[in-house]
Amino acid sequence: MEMKDLRVMAIGAHPDDADVNMAGTLSKFAAAGARVKMVAMTNGNKGHRTMPPDELAERRLGEAQASAKVIGAEEYVVMGSDDCVLEPTLEWRRRLTHLVRSFAPHLIFTHRTCDYHADHRAAGVLVQDITYFLGVPYWCPETPVPDVAPAVFFMRDKFTVPRELRPDVAVDITDVQDIAADALCCHVSQFFEWLPPELPGAVEANPGPDAPVEDRRAFVKRFWFARKQFDAARFNLPWQYAEVFELSEYGRQPDSDEIRSLFPAGAVVAERKSSGWR
């Protein structure tokens, strides 16, 4: 398949989840000609210490659109559940089914279901819940079944219970690190206000959203790209920054050669039952 014919959908719980986990990879898809759609299932309206929820939801919607523009995504859909209350209900299955079918992605990226945040877990469960239903004609018949059956990949995490992430694809984002950092910098309410108190040293190092672009990038890379450095090290990848993904056992199961053809040039693909990278 040519990259210009590829459709990629990243489904996170909040309006920065896809960005922080795979902004570099999404930018590579977009630059190669793929259509990229980003999704946040909640409006993120609880992610602040002082800003009221209604005001924050509007602000985060604007931040998401700015990030999508940096990444090259054609749309950033914020589905609108309130923050901290997303549940894998029947209604949310229906809503997500309609959204996914209408775009007919070849690749879906989402959260694993072992995660510290209930919204992340719920988003991952919902994607897995609908993966089979996407091909059931009389389920949500208002939106027809597309010809494409998506392969589903999990975004990275560091949790080990019930087991550690087992990556099937790794993408070197070192060459697009500034794009990925600029996408995160768009989420001012999160990376310069809400999250710094949670990371040792971040409050003192915070240059603020009005600082020169080089200072903001450096701040984001120091505190939020550590996970990308960690993943490169733990999976023995010879890169500065890596974004890694695990193929879900739900959904279409492309083999290693097909996975390689579906990802931007330079992605490293592991054999599913191999202990190392091929």
At the topology level of CATH, where does 3-269 sit?
A: Rossmann fold (3.40.50)
pTM of the model: 0.96
Domain ranges of the chain: 3-269
Residue 200 burial class via C-beta count within 10 angstroms: exposed 0-12, middle 13-18, buried 19 and up:
exposed
The phi-psi region of residue 163 (left if phi > 0; otherwise alpha if psi is between -120 and 50; otherwise beta) is beta
* CB-based contacts of 233, cutoff 8 Å, min separation 6: none
Contact indicator for 101, 145 with CB cutoff of 8 Å: yes
* pLDDT value for 271: 67
Contact indicator for 73, 38 with CB cutoff of 8 Å: yes
* pLDDT value for 274: 46
Pairwise CA distance, residues 171 & 228, whole Å: 10
Contact indicator for 38, 273 with CB cutoff of 8 Å: no
**What does the block give as tokens for 29?**
């898809």
Residue 144: CB atoms within 10 A of its CB come to 11
The phi-psi region of residue 250 (left if phi > 0; otherwise alpha if psi is between -120 and 50; otherwise beta) is beta
Residue 273 burial class via C-beta count within 10 angstroms: exposed 0-12, middle 13-18, buried 19 and up:
exposed
* CB-based contacts of 103, cutoff 8 Å, min separation 6: 7, 9, 37
Pairwise CA distance, residues 273 & 253, whole Å: 13
DSSP string of the chain, one letter each residue? --GGG-EEEEEESSTTHHHHHHHHHHHHHHHTT-EEEEEEEE--TT--SSS-HHHHHHHHHHHHHHHHHHHT-SEEEEEEEPTT-----HHHHHHHHHHHHHH--SEEEE--S--S-HHHHHHHHHHHHHHHHTT-TTSSTTSPPPSPPPEEEEPP----SS-----SEEEE-GGGHHHHHHHHHT-HIIIIIISGGGSTTHHHH---TTS-HHHHHHHHHHHHSHHHHHHHHHTT-SSSSEEEEEEEEEE----HHHHHHHS-TT-EEB-TT-SSB-
pLDDT tens for each residue of the chain, 278 residues long: 788 899 999 999 999 999 999 999 999 999 999 999 999 999 999 999 999 999 999 999 999 999 999 999 999 999 999 999 999 999 999 999 999 999 999 999 999 999 999 999 999 999 999 999 999 999 999 999 999 999 999 999 999 999 999 999 999 999 999 999 999 999 999 999 999 999 999 999 999 999 999 999 999 999 999 999 999 999 999 999 999 999 999 999 999 999 999 999 989 998 654 444 44
